[in-house]
Amino acid sequence: MSRINDERPFIAVGIAVLTISDSRTLADDKSGDTLAARIEEAGHRLVDRTIVTDDKALIYAQVEAWTKSDDIDVVITTGGTGFTGRDVTPEALEPLFEKRMDGFSEVFHRISYDKIGTSTIQSRATGGVANATFIFVLPGSPGACKDAWDGILKAQLDYRHMPCNFVEIMPRLDEHLKRGGKG
């Protein structure tokens, strides 16, 4: 079972939050506020936060730029994961992924199912890695952001979390590049 190893130090990571919305501003972005508060409460660094419209090119460009920043280890997006015509976040970001994280989606849906039942199937939450940066694509509701952070990300972004966590593998995410691009 998972546990916190108090013999390990806490290591703060740099996180950027992107809200995808045609109607929200930073003043009324409850999902972004939820994530920002939880990131800071956990002791991590909120390096950047912005909003872009439901436009594939804008979403891709913002996240790709963040994955190239030395200050950002994790990008969390909120919004655009449904099935309506404007919901394009997975389509925008999955081409960026070097490796897809199927387990993130599966665990997110398991947690979500316990709270909202079969309505969880209306989300296409996903995750992956690009440019040695973890990317998590969440639905646009504050509840979904709470579920993802509290149920998955808080533990996986804590170096003390055992038996394993994302922080301990961060230094090895770009090993393929150190071997001359073979891997």
Instruction: Express each pLDDT in 42-64 by its tens digit.
Output: 999 999 999 999 999 999 999 99
Beta-ladder partners of 85: none
Would you place residue 177 in the very low, low, confident or very high pLDDT band (cuts 50, 70, 90)? Answer: low
Q: Tell me what pLDDT residue 174 has.
A: 85
Q: Is 113 helix (H, G, I), strand (E, B) or coil?
A: helix
Q: Which of 52, 51, 40 is nearest to 15 (CA)?
A: 40
- Decide if pLDDT at 183 tops 50: no
Domains for the chain: give ranges and CATH numbers.
11-168 (3.40.980.10)
pLDDT digits (tens, 9 = 90+) for 71-109: 999 999 999 999 999 999 999 999 999 999 999 999 999
Q: What is the pTM of this model?
A: 0.95
Residue 1: per-residue pLDDT = 74
**Looking at residue 140, what DSSP letter applies?**
S
| Integer Cα distance of 94 and 121 in angstroms | 18
Nearest to 168 by CA among 51, 73, 88, 84: 73
